[in-house]
Amino acid sequence: MCAPLCNQVTERSDSAEILADLNRRNLFVTPLDNEHNWFRYHHLFAELLNGNLQRTRAIDLPALHRRAASWFQENNYPADALRHAFAIPDYSYASRLVVDNWRRIYHQGRLNTAVEWLDSLPTNFVRQSPPLGVAYCWTLFIRGEYDRIALFLDEITQVFERMVESGEYPKEHPEYNIILHQVILLRAIVMRHQGDYKNAIQAVEQLLPTIDGLRQKLGPLIVDMGYTACYSQMGYNYVATDDFERAVDYLGRVSSHARGCGNYFALAHATMELARTSLLLGRSEQAEKICRYELELAKHSAYADYPAFCLIQLGLADVLCEKKSWDEAENLLHQGLETAQKSGHLLYLARGYLIALRLHHGRGKLEQSLDYLHRAEEIAEVIHNRFLNEAITQAKMKMNNQSSASQSLIEPLSERELDVLRLICVGKSNQEIAGELFIALDTVKRHANNLYGKLGVKRRSQAIIEARKLGLI
């Protein structure tokens, strides 16, 4: 509590003097900051006061909670505002608070908080409110539960269409275009999860030209949000179709728009995917540079506690595993996994476990790597995410030793060809490979051509993709 809050709740004007006097006389209040602006009661005394309030002024409790909720909302404490709104209980008021505040919490990556808010509302409130329904679908996206999006979105779409027809949501309404765009994006996510990449890409491509037209009506913040979401989804679709160059192009456009609208979850998610895709193209230096640049944001005091940045920590750990920088990779993994677990990011926790598998397998610790594989599989059984299942399958393939993987080819790679292939996969040029292996440049080119032929490819990028599929690296 603080003096302005107490003034509003009690409808007095002398709360500052009362709090100062109580603190000076050490009467059951404890200051929470050096300036003595915020206080709390001793927990036993707080229980006594609450019990007395319930017995003597129960009829006043809804009004007191409403005043507290109003103060917290006006002063940018949405979680506290909602706590009091639910205590009234006034679900209509709470619904408005959730609609007004969920996006900021989501953008910070506070999944547990966003889910708790929405789950605290009666189901019919969420299902009959397009803004709340869309919010719930985005929490399903961040949880990786794409199948459930499809089921929920059908109902929300029907409600939205009825409200448009009845005039409750006319096309001139500021929220109309926002909801419409998000429904299209969520449909595209469902299509991607179902393997319908062509229509998923087409849906987002048709949406992109309409975004800038919202600038005058809704402002630059909404425009940045639109581009952030569209570029992200285009990138994820092209990753799914193995068109990595286009994926890198779209994912690389996300950062400036995500920063512009404060969507740090989208920024972190796109960075993680961009780093992974860059690795698939053999661009480990670029992947590391991107992750370190974006992770600098987490050093800023305003963003330091945002859970979203755990995705970049995991992405950078993956890059460092590729470069065999095991110690730093392990430190980042520890931080990223701890935050993902605390904030409820099961999908990214599972992906972190697969990176941990790679790290321990690379260090020759088979028992630990199998443990992380089993942890990822346990999460996969819960969330039923096709992309996670594919990642687990690929991880199992990579756990096969290189020699057995090599023997699966019609003509196995020689040890020297494997050496060259490994260096190609971390982005080394032919000249750099020659220097590292102490062989002539022409010899490197000969080994490269030989291994291309054995892998059935014509270019470096294709060789990297094929090598990963076969578990050669």
Residue 90 confidence (pLDDT) above 50: yes
How do the domains of the chain map onto residue ranges?
3-90, 263-399, 404-470
Q: 404 or 354: which carries more pLDDT confidence?
A: 354
Q: How confident is the model at residue 123 (pLDDT cuts 50, 70, 90)?
A: confident
Retrieve residue 273's tokens: 């995917």
For residue 402, the model assigns a pLDDT of 45
Domains 263-399 and 404-470 share a fold: no
Cα-based angle 301, 318, 445 (whole degrees, multiple of 5)? 135
Of the ranges 125-134, 223-232, 380-389, which is most confident? 223-232
Q: How confident is the model at residue 419 (pLDDT cuts 50, 70, 90)?
A: confident
Q: How confident is the model at residue 408 (pLDDT cuts 50, 70, 90)?
A: low
Chain-wide mean pLDDT for the chain? 90
Q: What is the DSSP letter of 173?
A: S
Q: What is the DSSP letter of 75?
A: T
Each residue of 11-32: b (16+ CB within 10 Å) or e?
Answer: eeeebeeebeeeeeeeebbeee
Residue range 320-324: average pLDDT?
A: 91
Q: Dihedral of CA 32/33/36/37: which sign?
A: negative
Retrieve residue 386's tokens: 């096709």
Q: How confident is the model at residue 404 (pLDDT cuts 50, 70, 90)?
A: low
Retrieve residue 440's tokens: 């002539």
Residue range 283-307: average pLDDT?
A: 94
Residue 415 confidence (pLDDT) above 80: no
Lowest mean pLDDT among 128-132, 213-217, 284-288: 213-217
What topology is assigned to 404-470 in CATH?
Answer: Arc Repressor Mutant, subunit A (1.10.10)
Task: Indicate the class that CATH gives domain 263-399.
Answer: mainly alpha
Segments in 40-145 forming alpha helices (H): 43-56, 61-74, 78-87, 91-107, 111-120, 123-127, 130-143
For residue 19, the model assigns a pLDDT of 92
**Is the distance from CB of 69 to CB of 85 less than 8 angstroms?**
yes
Q: Tell me the pTM.
A: 0.79
For residue 406, the model assigns a pLDDT of 47
Residue 431 confidence (pLDDT) above 80: yes
Distances (CA, A) of 87 to 91, 442, 470: 10, 76, 57
Question: Which residue type sits at 408?
Answer: S
